[in-house]
Amino acid sequence: MTATLDLARIAKGPEGQYLERKSLLDGEPGAKRPRDRATVRQEIAEVVAAFANTDGGTLLLGIEDDGTVTGHAYPDDAVNDMLLVPERRLQPPGHAGRVEQLDGKPVLVFDVGIAASAVMVTGNGYPVRQGDACVKMAADRINAWKQAGLVESWEARSSALSLGDLDPKLLALVDIVTCEHSDDIADYLLRRRLADERAGQLVLRRAAELLFARAPEKIDHPNACVRIFRVMGTERKTGALHNVEDLPRIEGAIPHVLQATFATIDPLLRRPKRLRGTTFEDAPEYPTFAWREAIVNAVAHRDYAIQGRGVEVWLFDDRMEIESPGGVVDAVSLEDLRGGRRAHASRNPRLSRVLVDLGYMREQGEGIPRMFGEMTAQFLPPPTVEGAGKTFKVTLRNTPNITPQTAEWLGNIAKEGLSEPQVRALVLALQHGSVSNAELRDATGLETLTASKALRDLRDRGLLAMRDSGSLTSYVLTQVARGAVERTGGLEPDTGGLGPDTGGLGTDAGGLEPDAGDLGLPADLARRAADLSPKARTPAIRQLIRELCAVRPLTARQLATLLRRRKVRHLAEEHLAPMVDEGLLERTIPENPTDPRQAFRTPATAQQRKGE
């Protein structure tokens, strides 16, 4: 039983955790030609494996970034080779893709489910999906969180409920938003792994019970609920000084619980005057997206195996605390969460996927940076994240940290008539030293093209200057913008907001990093690498990489430093991984591509070593 995906709707949706669109054409408008077949096959293997290793997803080939359907111009044999990539290049093999007609043009479709164990791209490691990117991860780490989430989690257990015990109105909602047509909601439940088919019978999992139960008493969990406490003051007190108001428990199917929680908290929040853009307006004391996202995450990612307590929301005079049972998932770094970076693993992947379908969650991992961005944009301290023991807590504080100088600076540029996202871009550039398209998207929730338009307009106004190109593009304040800064008496960037997001990969330090040390490279070769133009073409970059790695094995970070490349990840994904695929380089630890000691060498270097 399989429901038909509404490809027209999916194709125009935002790319992210569960959707990847790729064009099959290359070249300038009016002179398009089919893309290189080997490159397309490699992309299919990488994206399909990443979806399978994370929470599933859909890959559509033959669609442009803006959602325009352009199809393909390949012969049938080439298309067949592409469709069979999951069967031929993945271990264990996946399901082949198919061709669908969309707007009268052929589109290659790969509808990928969650794999039960880690999937490898033959010869190129184990990718996972992180937002709209694919990154490598060790197989044992993938298997560990799959075991915890898909097998051992409370949501994965069989439920005693039947289809008749589920709320038909909630089921109708998911049917509408995910399917073109479906005569049987069982199709959706099976595809999202909310149920299994055994001996012709539909057996529900606990996740279906939590999401769609017709009534609270149908849920076999004593604390699948949200509790809200209002504290009169900044500290809890007991006895004669008791200052805590315990509001009624909120129970039932998760969508109902979330709606009721939002409706309960919203009128309890004050609406002080807050700086939004360049003017002061009435605004909630916490950005609506930020506190709602924190609550949704708490409900979606809590450990339901801990049944002694539910999700708790504590409203103090100066802060909001959201606590949920269960610490941080093993595959998620607490430091990444504290830095406002994306996290891609869930304790309850089934719950998370359906909440994305229903619009309660953004694409997996995107909500965290957006939550941080919303707080920063309203000049509030970034969220505090704690994950000690068996409790996870997010704290939002309502005391603005904007300096008088920043307020005056914003006043000086108010006459420019900027949109709120553009003001956020300038503030990010001021606070971080630069702003990229991805950083602006994270802070505002804008689509890629809309964020690009906002940044280009600021560039055309002379307020931002573009630095680097391609995926390395970022923008810095111009002298015109800094002139407004200087008129405030010499403004230094605020430190109360987010720090630069390096993705854990480091940035250009202006010279060799400490771990590069004395690499023993010929002086002329090191000089050629240092003098390589930021706009150098791929052949020139790869030729230098080959020459450097022929002298000695080098890590991605060492190569990025030598070549004056700002982002290690970009170098690895755009050059090192493809060079390994083409046989131009080999890894020193091929069995574990994500090993922190991983380095790259030329095959000639390996042969010489064997002969020594």
Which whole number is the average pLDDT over 301-316?
Answer: 94
> In this predicted model, what pLDDT tens digit does every residue of 447-462 receive, in sequence order?
788 888 999 999 988 8
Rounded-to-integer distance, Cα 291 and Cα 297, Å? 10
One-letter-per-residue 3-state SS of 590-609: CCCCCCCCCCEECHHHHHHH
* 600 token code pair: 């790259």
Which pLDDT value is given to residue 421? 85
* 213 token code pair: 């139960």
What confidence category does residue 292 fall into, taking pLDDT thresholds of 50, 70 and 90? Answer: very high
> In this predicted model, what pLDDT tens digit does every residue of 44-91 receive, in sequence order?
999 999 999 887 888 999 998 778 899 999 999 999 999 999 999 999
Which pLDDT value is given to residue 296? 95
Average of per-residue pLDDT values in the chain: 81
Task: Pick the range with the lowest mean pLDDT from 85-89, 470-474, 494-498.
Answer: 494-498
Quick check: 31 pLDDT over 70? Answer: yes
Quick check: 277 pLDDT over 80? Answer: no
Burial bucket for residue 537 (CB in 10 Å: 0-12, 13-18, 19+): exposed
Q: Which residues pair with 476 in a beta bridge?
A: 465
Consecutive H or E run containing 281: strand 279-282
> In this predicted model, what pLDDT tens digit does every residue of 109-158 receive, in sequence order?
998 888 888 999 998 899 988 777 788 888 888 888 777 666 668 898 88
What angle is formed at CA 168 by the lines to CA 167 and CA 171, rounded to 5 degrees?
90
410 versus 238: which is more confidently predicted? Answer: 238
This prediction's pTM:
0.60
Quick check: 610 pLDDT over 90? Answer: no
Looking from the CA of 24 toward its CB, the CA atoms found within 13 Å total 25
Which whole number is the average pLDDT over 308-335?
Answer: 86
Quick check: 402 pLDDT over 60? Answer: yes
Which pLDDT value is given to residue 150? 64
537 versus 340: which is more confidently predicted? Answer: 537
Q: In the chain, what are the domains?
A: 4-137 (3.30.950.30), 225-397 (3.30.565.60), 404-486 (1.10.10.10), 523-611 (1.10.10)
Quick check: 415 pLDDT over 70? Answer: no
Q: Give the DSSP per-residue string, 237-254.
A: --GGG--EEEPPPEESSH
Q: Give the DSSP per-residue string, 371-421.
A: HHHHHHHTT-PPPEEE--TTEEEEEEE-S----HHHHHHHHHHGGG---HH
What confidence category does residue 361 fall into, taking pLDDT thresholds of 50, 70 and 90? Answer: confident
